Structure 1
Amino acid sequence: MTMHPDVAVLARYADGDPGLDEASVWSVESHLETCADCRARLAGQIPDDTRALLDVVGAAVGRGIEAGPAPARRRMAIRRRRLAVTPAPWLTMTAGVLGCAVLLHAIAPDLPSLVLLLAPVAPLPGVAASWNRRTDPAWELVAGTPSAGLGMLLRRTTAVLAVVIPLLALAGARTGAPLAMLLTPCLAFTAASIALGSLIGVRRAAAGLGTVWSVAVVAPSLATAQLPVVLTPGGAAAWAAAAVGMAGFAAARADLFRRLNSAD
């Protein structure tokens, strides 16, 4: 059964209430596209001058569509098929980087383990793409669904981790890196990117964390040929505590993930 917007929400949408969150606006608009009854209800609440303006705009758009070229359906179908079989860029990049880290460990075993150094930031490209309107062509439609927000971000992040964690485990098995020190920093940085994403956007948070880690930890470790203290086996408990703390912070700010800037 089709769920119609609440009368109060529809009235607030018609009045342009700035207090109505963006996800609710998208939900109303996507519903109006397919529900003639709700469009009629909305039309009854629009002032006459606004209705006249909409009629003028609608007529102009109709003339533009009629005068424009016919849609190239075959090209779009081919493009959709290509997208369907093309692996996600972040997956290809992550697998390639970890593969290079394993190869470098075999060539220069005296260097600090690049697999350990890269484990915290390995999931960040996928996390950045999981809730980003710049990489999701259907983001507006997704954001308008009732399940949008932190819940959907967590489901997509889980899918990212389901790919990254086996890659890390395989790379760790090839290089002898402790599994606990691969997974706990990975989970901590994932939780941190989501937590900070409520403040500055998930993409910016993931990019910022990756940059800081690369500059402050990875580069000095390679320069000194020593593994940092934060990646020694005794640090697993601290990483796990950080992951739990960041997850709690993100849960406390769950409502902010229904704002459009969380996908920047």
Structure 2
Amino acid sequence: MTANHPGEHLLRRYARGDDDIAADELWAVEAHLETCAPCRGRLAPDPLATAVWADLAPLVARTPQMPRARPWRRLLHGWVSPAAGPWLAMMLLVTAAAVGLDQAGTTAGGQVPLVLLVAPVLPVLGVAASWGRSFDPAHELTAATPRAGLPLLFRRTASVLAVVVPGLAVAGLLTDVAPARWLLPCLAFTVGTLALGALVGITRAAIGLVVAWAAAIVAPTFAFSRMPIALDAAATPVWAGALAAGLVVIAARRMAFTRLEANR
């Protein structure tokens, strides 16, 4: 590609449907063609494109036009999966239930607030629901668009955090749990889900991390009635390191999110 537009050779290969175009180049060309009318015009003289359009034009003329979506709805669908609504509501209900149990004196082991135990892994469920094919029936259509991949995954993850983190902040205020104790583990688990998801799939990564947290932290806390070391202030550097390591893995494996295999 040139500084601003795809080169002629790349456009001809794209118009022919060559299979040897690299995934990142293919994504870049399709994303560019969405917004660049001159480059779409450069494709028009191609014989294959002309023949395809000659067959499609009569069908398009007879096809009823769908009503245009409102701008706010298009923006919302770019950030939030249609299937994520119930999961976001469920996470807020879990947070409210944890607050209610803490207020009633039902803490883990008699001293660890339940909010503190659920906060680190709560966004993980929303990330899985907002991107995994197991929860979104329209996922394959979304994942096949030129703008799918890591940018879309980041937007949907940000939308989950935008709902969950304020809810956890309110829960922390009601239960006297300082944000410093749960916010960094929360972000580390969210980034860790994306990093591990690049290797085994988002849904599998989310399930694995939640199960590991329940087995290694939640169960011993109830069994031994003591504050887990992972949630102690001394563990802050460890969580910061895990967060940084996850970001490095995501950057190195960013192209993995353009393949459907990463969305299991």
Q: TM-score of the superposition, structure 2-length normalised?
A: 0.71
Partner of 2:188: 188
CA distance in 1, matches of 2:165, 2:44: 51
- Cα distance, 1:165 vs. partner? 1.2
Partner of 1:209: 209
Alpha-carbon contact 1:132-1:139 (below 8 Å) kept: no
CA, structure 1 residues 241+4, in 2 after alignment: closer, same or farther (shift >3 Å)?
Answer: closer
Partner of 1:76: none
Partner of 1:102: 99
CA distance in 1, matches of 2:111, 2:259: 44
Partner of 1:20: 22
CA distance in 1, matches of 2:150, 2:29: 16
After superposition, give the CA deviation of every residue in 1:232-259 in whole Å (9 maximum; x if it has no partner). Answer: 2222232122112211221232233333
- One-letter code of the match for 1:220? P
Partner of 1:8: 9
CA, structure 1 residues 150+25, in 2 after alignment: closer, same or farther (shift >3 Å)?
Answer: closer
CA, structure 1 residues 23+98, in 2 after alignment: closer, same or farther (shift >3 Å)?
Answer: farther
CA distance in 2, matches of 1:216, 1:135: 33
More divergent stretch after superposition (12-21 vs 89-98): 12-21
What percent identity do the matched residue pairs reach? 37
Partner of 1:77: none
CA distance in 1, matches of 2:189, 2:138: 22
Alpha-carbon contact 2:120-2:189 (below 8 Å) kept: yes
After superposition, give the CA deviation of every residue in 1:204-243 in whole Å (9 maximum; x if it has no partner). Answer: 2222211221233223322333332111222223212211
CA distance in 2, matches of 1:105, 1:94: 17
Alpha-carbon contact 2:99-2:175 (below 8 Å) kept: yes
Partner of 2:238: 238
After superposition, give the CA deviation of every residue in 1:18-61 in whole Å (9 maximum; x if it has no partner). Answer: 453288269649969xx885665454489xxxx8xx89x98xxx
Look up the SS of the partner of 1:206 in the other structure. Answer: helix
CA distance in 2, matches of 1:178, 1:4: 50
CA distance in 1, matches of 2:219, 2:45: 61
Partner of 1:179: 179
CA distance in 1, matches of 2:231, 2:146: 41
Alpha-carbon contact 2:43-2:49 (below 8 Å) kept: no
Partner of 1:93: 90
CA distance in 2, matches of 1:182, 1:97: 16
CA distance in 1, matches of 2:99, 2:112: 12
Alpha-carbon contact 2:143-2:258 (below 8 Å) kept: no
CA, structure 1 residues 222+19, in 2 after alignment: closer, same or farther (shift >3 Å)?
Answer: farther
Alpha-carbon contact 1:22-1:260 (below 8 Å) kept: no
Structure 2 gap segments, 5+ residues each: 68-72
- One-letter code of the match for 2:23? D
- Cα distance, 1:156 vs. partner? 2.7
Alpha-carbon contact 1:10-1:42 (below 8 Å) kept: no
Tell me whether 1:114 sits opposite 2:117 in the alignment. no
CA, structure 1 residues 41+4, in 2 after alignment: closer, same or farther (shift >3 Å)?
Answer: farther
Aligned-residue Cα RMSD (Å) equals 4.1
Partner of 1:155: 155
After superposition, give the CA deviation of every residue in 1:180-226 in whole Å (9 maximum; x if it has no partner). Answer: 11101101101111111221222322222112212332233223333
List aligned pairs for 1:50-129, cutoff 5 A.
88-107=85-104, 108-109=106-107, 110=110, 112-129=112-129
CA distance in 1, matches of 2:25, 2:122: 30
More divergent stretch after superposition (148-157 vs 113-122): 148-157
Alpha-carbon contact 2:99-2:174 (below 8 Å) kept: yes
